[in-house]
């Protein structure tokens, strides 16, 4: 049975997902904020701004009209930057008629309310009396490689098993494998924080600190992600999976990572405003680090890498000093629970 899917957001990732679904034969509407870009996608069958060089199926319906995009949709897939998500979801929720499944593909944290994307969807839907199940789709997946047909595996996570399995079935094809997971909090927190750690790794690599340092930052970054996630109710096993370690490694080491590129540029002495002005797409870690730091302070979770990235981005701290301060911290157990296992 053919499904209608509305992809809300025509950045690289939204466009790549639209391509995956259209090639499977699903009916796909792609909401594009910029009317001129929507027209070019429809006429040239290419997103020449966010995903140039990738030919798109002609059946993708690109439109700047949210109501047109979601009309009759069975699935609403939100792929917009986190700082715009609440406004876009509010607009979309006013147009929803009938039953839908909402899918969050946004990776970030709202600074004002400290809300993750799935919570923003839930709050907005509840305000309109909408009871749509919410699924988080996340994992190690550069948009360009997905659009090129590179074998990729991601996770469909939800408290609603049936909804998670429907999203799994919707997106899965021989080159795009989707697993299910009952821990949307863990999956989403992984997606939020991996971008911050990727900035740290980019800084380290840009300073030429070596592969040992890179490995240490990724591993200790995962420890910070896990501490925060578990405190929020996540299953620790989630962080060893695709949306955790998998996405973290990809974002920290892959040259297509925007957040890694931010870190590399900072290490070269470039100013943040200059770096961001030269980027087409959003590096979520730049804004997310503020919200993550605030959340960590609020719930009492120690996150030294987050603290140093924040200091470099917003306190003019020299990157090499941030690296030095991380190494000079108080000596401690690697895992407190393991340390407590020694006899007194």
Tens of pLDDT, residue by residue over 238-255, are: 999 999 999 999 999 999
Same domain assignment for residues 197 and 264:
yes
* CA torsion angle 206 212 218 222 (round to 10): -150
pLDDT at 90 (0 to 100): 93
pTM value?
0.95
Residue-number span of the structural domain to which 163 is assigned: 4-182
Confidence (pLDDT) at 333: 87
One domain for residues 178 and 203: no
Give the model's pLDDT for residue 281.
84
**63 and 11 within one domain:** yes
Q: How many residues does the chain have?
A: 344
232 and 98 belong to one structural domain:
no
3-state class of 68 per DSSP? helix
Residues 28 and 115 in one domain: yes
Residue 29 inside a domain? The answer is yes
Q: Which of 182, 213, 243 is the last residue of a domain?
A: 182
Residues 118 and 204 in one domain: no
343 is a domain residue: no
Tell whether 344 is covered by a domain. Answer: no
Q: Tokens representing 171?
A: 């997106």
Pick the last residue of a domain from 151, 182, 213. Answer: 182
Q: Are residues 21 and 156 both part of a single domain?
A: yes
Residues of the chain falling short of pLDDT 70 = 1, 337-344
Kindly state whether residues 171 and 204 are assigned to the same domain. Answer: no
How remote is the C-alpha of 261 from its chain's centroid?
Answer: 16
Is residue 81 in a domain?
yes
Regarding whether 175 and 130 lie in a shared domain, the answer is yes
Euclidean distance between CA atoms 169 and 165, whole angstroms: 6
Domain count along the chain: 2
Q: Are residues 172 and 214 in the same domain?
A: no
CATH of the domain at 17: 3.40.50.720
Kindly state the percentage of the chain with pLDDT values over 70.
97
Tokens of 230: 């578990």
Q: Is 44 a catalytic residue?
A: no
pLDDT of residue 339: 58
Residues 50 and 118 in one domain: yes
Residues 268 and 210 placed together within one structural domain of the fold = yes
Closest C-alpha among 78, 145, 134, 130 to residue 108? 78
Which of 55, 194, 271, 294 is labelled catalytic? Answer: 194
Is 111 within the bounds of a domain?
A: yes
Separation CA 173–CA 166 (nearest Å)? 13
Domain boundary residue among 182, 203, 232?
182
Q: Residue 236 falls within a domain, yes or no?
A: yes
Residue recorded with tokens 């020449």:
48
Residue 342 lies in a domain: no
Token duo for residue 154? 């991601």
Flag whether 176 is in a domain.
yes
Give the residue among 208, 204, 198 at the shortest CA–CA distance from 257: 198
Report pLDDT for 282: 84
Question: In terms of DSSP bridges, do strands 61-63 and 152-157 run parallel, antiparallel, or are they unpaired?
Answer: unpaired
Cβ-based neighbours of 164, under 8 Å, separated by 6 or more? 135, 156, 157, 158, 180, 181, 182
């Amino acid at each position: 049975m053919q499904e209608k899917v509305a992809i809300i957001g025509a950045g690289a990732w939204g466009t790549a997902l639209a391509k995956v679904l259209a090639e499977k034969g699903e009916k796909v509407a792609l909401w594009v904020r910029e009317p001129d870009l929507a027209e070019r996608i429809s006429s040239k069958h290419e997103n020449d701004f966010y995903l140039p060089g990738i030919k798109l199926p002609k059946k993708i319906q690109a439109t700047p009209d949210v109501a047109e995009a979601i009309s009759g949709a069975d699935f609403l897939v939100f792929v917009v930057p986190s700082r715009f998500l609440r406004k876009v979801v509010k607009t979309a929720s006013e147009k929803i008629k009938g039953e839908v499944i909402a899918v969050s593909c946004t990776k970030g944290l709202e600074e004002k309310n400290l809300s993750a994307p799935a919570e923003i969807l839930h709050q907005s839907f509840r305000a309109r009396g909408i009871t749509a199940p919410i699924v988080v789709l996340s994992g190690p997946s550069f948009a360009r490689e997905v659009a090129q047909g590179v074998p990729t595996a991601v996770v469909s996570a939800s408290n609603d098993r049936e909804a998670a399995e429907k999203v799994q079935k919707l997106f899965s094809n021989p080159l795009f494998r989707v697993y299910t997971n009952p821990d949307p909090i863990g999956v989403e927190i992984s997606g939020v924080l991996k971008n911050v750690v990727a900035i740290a790794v980019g800084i380290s690599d840009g300073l030429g600190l070596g592969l040992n340092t890179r490995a240490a930052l990724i591993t200790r970054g995962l420890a910070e992600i896990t501490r925060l996630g578990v405190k929020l109710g996540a299953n620790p096993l989630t962080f060893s999976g695709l949306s955790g370690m998998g996405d973290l490694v990809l974002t920290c080491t892959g040259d297509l990572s925007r957040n890694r590129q931010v870190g590399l540029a900072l290490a070269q002495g470039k100013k943040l405003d200059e770096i961001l002005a030269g980027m087409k797409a959003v590096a979520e870690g730049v804004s997310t680090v503020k919200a993550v730091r605030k959340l960590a302070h609020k719930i009492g979770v120690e996150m030294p890498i987050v603290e140093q990235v924040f200091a470099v981005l917003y306190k003019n701290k020299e990157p090499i000093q941030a690296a030095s301060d991380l190494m000079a911290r108080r000596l401690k157990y690697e895992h407190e629970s393991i340390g407590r296992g020694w006899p007194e």
